[in-house]
Amino acid sequence: MKIGSRFRRVPARIKIQIYGILVIGLFLLGGASWGYDSASSNLTGMATPLVQLPKSLDFEPERPVAGDAIRVRVAFETELAQRTPLNYRWKVNDQVIRESMSPEFVNPTKRGDVVEVTVFLGDNRDEARAFRKLVRVENSPPSIKRNDERMDENGQYIARFEISDQDGDAVTLKLQKGPEGMTLDPEKRELRWSPPNGAKGTFPVQVLAADSAGAKILYSYSLTLK
């Protein structure tokens, strides 16, 4: 009798243990499920989409100068991602200047200004789905043009130059190339040359304009005598 009663109680313990394991297992599985949902949901309860990283963010021009229109080009790996609507926030020296859907920024800038663009992915301006890039406005080269070009009554060639600099820097002129005997007066910004008798043909001329900040431009043209 004792042996039989012991034998009958063993299955009861096993059932209780199995039941307890099942209850604990269900509880753990339920907790794991709740934790996963909580970690992967946003405030609206929708699953947070993965952010598609741009392949590249580039400025055009790459090295802008004062007065340039600056454009940002965003490229993605896939064609589907390339169709993502984008919004742009433009800053100059950390001050917000413009927010729009246009990738082009047209605004007065000066040498040394820092232009920053924030690109938002999607129609809403979610900071978590934004990418930034900045560029510094560089020194612009001077501009030069030739005017009042003529041969005077003595057969002397005269050409005067008009120069300007968008950054307001002082500009100097230097004759780099010209026919023998040609001279440049940097104060008057004037070229003079007395061609020898019977001189004919085409003569290359080069004038270098340099501003005080180091930007240069080489102005070239050809002088033809017939």
pLDDT tens for 187-223 read 999 999 999 998 999 999 999 999 999 999 999 999 9
What SS3 state is found at 59?
A: strand
45 has pLDDT over 60: no
Q: Which of 102, 136, 170 is the last residue of a domain?
A: 136
Return the bridge partners of 120, or none: 87, 130
Kindly state whether residue 51 falls inside one of the protein's structural domains: no
Kindly state whether residue 156 falls inside one of the protein's structural domains: yes
Is the same domain home to 147 and 132?
A: no
Is the same domain home to 157 and 190?
A: yes
Kindly state whether residue 107 falls inside one of the protein's structural domains: yes
Host domain of residue 83: 56-136
CATH of the domain at 79: 2.60.40
When divided into structural domains, the chain yields a total of: 3
- What element of type H or E holds 143? strand 143-151
- pLDDT band for position 126 (50/70/90)? confident
Is the same domain home to 130 and 158?
A: no
Whether pTM > 0.75 for this model: the answer is no
167 has pLDDT over 50: yes
What pLDDT digit, counting tens, does each position of 68-120 carry? Answer: 999 999 999 888 888 889 999 999 999 999 999 999 999 999 999 999 999 99
Which strands sit side by side in the sheet containing 171-177, from one edge to the other?
Answer: 171-177, 201-211, 216-225
Kindly state whether residue 11 falls inside one of the protein's structural domains: yes
CATH of the domain at 211: 2.60.40.10
Between the alpha carbon of residue 125 and those of residues 50, 174, 211, 213, the distances in Å are: 16, 53, 43, 40
Is the same domain home to 110 and 125?
A: yes
* HSE-up (13 A, CA, CB side) for residue 90: 21
Kindly state whether residue 50 falls inside one of the protein's structural domains: no
What SS3 state is found at 216?
A: strand
Kindly state whether residue 48 falls inside one of the protein's structural domains: no
Is the same domain home to 219 and 148?
A: yes
